[in-house]
Amino acid sequence: MAETEDESEAPGKKKSGLIVTIAIVLVLSLVAGGGGWVLGGILAPTVAPAEEEAAAAAAEAPAAHGGEGEKKGEAGARVRENLVTLEPITTNLSYPSDNWIRIEVSLVFVGETDDDLADKIQEDILAYLRTVSLQQIEGPRGYQYLQDDLRERVKLRSKGRVNNILMRTFVIE
């Protein structure tokens, strides 16, 4: 009889161990969920007003400055007065010569724009791209070097009148 009592107690212990484990997991899940909810309530109000203030400041900035440097285009998008978009430049690379490159660049002028200077800069960019090999502009680092080289050439050519260049498209075929 002693053997039958030991056998009947063993399954009960396993069931109670499983129930205790499930209860602990449920309690910990509820504590974690409540903590996340409380932390979310603390952080959320500080993020939302900051975004609203930034949007309000951006909406007031053109009105406060009289739209200086920017104007509304036909499609309603903002167009910078000191930005000149060059025609797409397409040329073959120096090596391998059967590869072609096509870029679209915009120039950011300091003050008034100069279309004659923009045309000279476009010719200079075209001449430079003809000297570039595919190995020089491979990968993200090569692209960054190309962008830095173009920015430096444009600043030298314009004698500081062009502040920056914006690469709109960059395709190699």
Residue-wise pLDDT for 85-107, tens only, equals 999 999 999 998 899 999 999 99
Write down the CATH superfamily of domain 81-172. Band 7 domain (3.30.479.30)
Cis? peptide before 96, omega within 30° of 0: yes
Task: Tally Cβ neighbours within 10 Å of residue 123.
Answer: 12
Tokens of 99: 């590869």
At residue 15, the pLDDT reads 75
Q: What is the pLDDT of residues 125-141, one digit of tens each?
A: 999 999 999 999 999 99
Q: List the domain boundaries for the chain.
A: 1-68, 81-172
Q: Whose CA is closest to 85, among 112, 111, 124, 115?
A: 115
Task: Report pLDDT digits (tens) over 142-170.
Answer: 999 999 999 999 999 999 899 899 999 99
Query: Which among 12, 38, 11, 31 has a CA at the least distance from the CA of 23?
Result: 31
Report the distance separating Cα 130 and Cα 97, nearest Å.
Answer: 9
- Strand 83-85 and strand 89-92: pairing? unpaired
